[in-house]
Amino acid sequence: MERILAIWRGAAASTVELAILDGRVERAVFTLGLADHAAGLTDAVLLLARSDMTLQAVPLVRMTLECGVTAAWLAVTPGSGEAANADSAIAHARLEHAMEDLADPLGRPEREKARKAEKARATAANRERGQTTVTPGINGEAKLFEQRCAAIDGGEWFYPYYRFLSAYSHGGPALLEHYGRAIEATEDNPLGLEYDPQRTFEAAGIVLAVQAIALMTAVRAWDDIAPGHSIRAQLDEVANDMGAVFELRRRAVS
């Protein structure tokens, strides 16, 4: 991870040239931002891991995996920038509506009517103009992480590990199972349960390996679409030492 970070920071110190993909700049900008965020998350993960807090770092690893997969998806998927923009606009609208409803709950029914009417007008206007959006499949991938994982060739392992990380990223049973364990019941402890706040996180090695691969995926996605591929040779050297191959392609539709 430190080697990848050093490569990324060296490249980011210079002026960045953006590729124009699909006649637009979004895919390049989004991929750059995701790679840079993955690097920042890795700094945080390393800080926690060195303090023997890898379990507490799991939500950051999960987010890094999201960044890596989404960056790869953007790099290999035509139309993904427009789809990501559309999904972002929906998310912003939902947030705005939620805050409006929080501030004025009594006015929500009337606002809901106005929102539905506006949506219907926009849909009708687009139909009259003959406008089409990106394919429904790409729109679905922009919205759903599982679909983005499936869209990447060889990316079938991404989503299961994402679910594994998710189990430790919420206040749910996985954390209870980590801190508590069954022991022989005694008169003093009839429940047969031991609580150990200092219990070793047995999956720490797996979690850090996922972090390294997610970071490499994000940075490689950027280099794949960057003019000149300025850090390709350095990344390939690290990948070789990792015993991994990073060739990002969109999965062929059978």
**pLDDT per residue as tens digits for the range 220-232:** 999 999 988 889 9
Say yes or no to pLDDT of 43 above 70. yes
pTM of the model: 0.84
Residues 164-181, mean pLDDT to the nearest whole number: 90
The larger pLDDT score, comparing residue 98 to residue 49, is at: 49
The larger pLDDT score, comparing residue 12 to residue 205, is at: 205
Say yes or no to pLDDT of 135 above 70. no
pLDDT at residue number 13:
66
* Per-residue confidence band for 254, with pLDDT thresholds at 50, 70 and 90: low
Lowest average pLDDT, out of 39-48, 161-170, 184-193, goes to 184-193
Which residue, 73, 252, 253, 247, is CA-closest to 148?
73
Residue 228: left if φ>0, alpha if ψ -120 to 50, beta else—which one?
A: left
Which residue, 80, 181, 202, 96, is CA-closest to 133?
80
Say yes or no to pLDDT of 47 above 80. yes
Q: Residue 193's beta-bridge partner residues?
A: 182
Cα distance between residue 197 and residue 205, in whole Å:
19
Cα distance between residue 231 and residue 225, in whole Å:
11
pLDDT at residue number 42:
98
Which residue, 219, 224, 228, 232, is CA-closest to 8?
219
pLDDT digits (tens, 9 = 90+) for 154-169: 999 999 999 999 999 9
